[in-house]
C-alpha cells in the first residue's frame, strides 16, 4: 500500500456489536492493514452519524473490479470450450449480491461492520446488500495492501466452492430454474412455492416450502422472499438428486473458517421444517402468506 493510501483519514472507534477483526485474518488467509480494514467495514450510515467521515464505498468500487477480473480469468481458463454467453452467465451466478452476502456471512463480516443506529436496529448486519458491499470493500483493501496476486488468492479461497458448483446448476444458473429443469426431466411437474413471513416489519423472516406433485421436497428461510425460495429450491434439488449441493457456497458454514490455504468448505443448506400448506395457500396458520414484498 502506498504512503498516500496509508495516510487516508479513516473513521475510528469500535464496531457497533461484538466482533474481533483479528479473526477475519484467519478466515481470509491474510492480515489487512488495520486502518484499511476499518475503512472497509464502515457503512455510510455510521459515517453519517459520525461527522460524514469516509465510508467503504470507494473500496467497494475497487474490490468489485478485483473480484470481477479474478472470477472472469478463472472461468476463461477453466472452461476453454464455453462461448461468451455461457461464461457471462457463469460469472453472474458467482458475482452477485446473494453469493457475496453468503461469503460475507461465512467469514463473520456482519459482526464487524460499523453501522449507524438506524441500520443496527433494522437488522443491517445481515442485510444482503450491506454484507455484499462489505465483502467487495474488504477485497479492495486486500488489493491495496498486498497487490493483485494476494487478492487473487483470497478470492479463490472464498469463491472457489461457487466456481466449482456453478456449471452444474443448469442453463438458468440459479436454483429455482435448475429445479424446474430437473423436475421436468424427472416428470415431477412444475415446482409450487408457498411462502410465509414472520417477525416485525424491520426484521422479517421469510420461510418458503417447495412442493412437487403435491409433496413437500424442500424448505428454506431468508431475509427476502427470493432468498427463501432459492434456499428451498436448493434443498429440493438436493433431495431429488440425492447428492449434496452448495446452494450458497460458503454461506452459513457451520464449520467456521476455512483451513489456511484452502477454500471455504461447501456446506449443506439448512432445510427447515415448515407446516404443510393449508387449503387457503398459507404455510401454517400462524404465518400469513407473503405478497411480492421482499422479493
- Just list the catalytic residues: 64, 136
Closest alpha carbon to 127 in 106, 105, 145: 105
Contacts of 215 (CB under 8 A, 6+ apart): none
Contacts within 8 Å (CB) and 24+ apart, 180-187: 182/237, 182/240, 182/241, 183/212, 183/240, 186/240
Whole-angstrom distance, CA of residue 85 vs CA of residue 80: 13
Look at the alpha carbons of 105, 57, 162, 271 in this order and tell me if their dihedral is positive or negative. Answer: positive
Using the structure block, give the residue that is written with the C-alpha cell 486486500. 142
Instruction: Specify whether the CB–CB gap between 123 and 199 falls below 8 A.
Output: no
Closest alpha carbon to 78 in 89, 95, 90: 90
Amino acid at each position: 500500500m502506498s504512503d498516500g493510501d496509508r495516510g487516508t483519514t479513516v473513521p475510528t472507534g469500535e464496531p457497533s456489536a461484538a466482533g474481533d477483526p483479528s479473526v477475519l485474518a484467519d478466515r481470509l488467509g491474510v492480515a489487512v492493514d488495520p486502518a484499511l480494514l476499518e475503512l472497509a467495514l464502515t457503512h455510510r450510515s455510521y459515517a453519517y452519524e459520525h461527522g460524514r467521515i469516509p465510508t467503504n464505498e470507494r473500496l467497494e468500487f475497487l474490490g468489485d473490479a478485483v473480484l470481477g477480473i479474478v472470477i472472469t480469468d478463472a472461468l476463461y481458463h477453466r472452461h476453454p470450450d464455453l462461448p461468451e454467453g455461457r461464461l457471462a452467465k457463469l460469472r453472474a451466478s458467482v458475482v452477485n449480491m446473494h453469493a457475496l452476502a453468503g461469503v460475507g456471512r461465512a467469514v463473520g463480516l456482519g459482526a464487524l461492520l460499523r453501522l449507524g443506529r438506524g441500520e443496527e436496529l433494522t437488522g443491517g448486519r445481515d442485510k444482503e446488500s450491506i454484507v455484499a458491499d462489505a465483502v467487495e470493500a474488504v477485497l479492495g483493501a486486500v488489493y491495496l495492501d498486498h497487490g493483485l496476486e494476494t487478492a487473487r488468492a483470497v478470492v479463490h479461497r472464498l469463491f472457489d466452492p461457487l466456481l466449482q458448483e456453478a456449471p452444474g446448476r443448469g442453463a438458468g444458473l440459479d436454483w429455482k430454474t435448475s429445479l424446474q429443469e430437473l423436475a421436468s426431466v424427472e416428470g415431477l411437474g412444475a415446482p409450487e412455492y408457498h411462502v410465509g413471513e414472520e417477525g416485525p416489519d424491520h426484521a422479517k423472516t421469510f420461510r418458503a416450502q417447495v412442493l412437487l406433485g403435491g409433496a413437500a421436497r424442500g424448505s428454506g428461510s431468508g431475509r427476502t422472499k427470493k432468498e427463501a425460495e432459492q434456499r428451498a429450491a436448493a434443498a429440493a434439488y438436493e433431495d431429488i438428486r440425492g447428492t449434496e449441493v452448495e446452494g450458497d457456497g460458503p454461506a452459513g458454514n457451520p464449520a467456521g473458517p476455512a483451513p489456511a490455504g484452502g477454500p471455504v468448505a461447501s456446506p449443506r443448506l439448512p432445510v427447515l421444517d415448515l407446516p404443510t400448506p393449508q387449503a387457503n395457500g398459507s404455510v401454517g396458520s400462524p404465518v400469513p402468506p407473503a405478497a411480492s414484498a421482499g422479493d
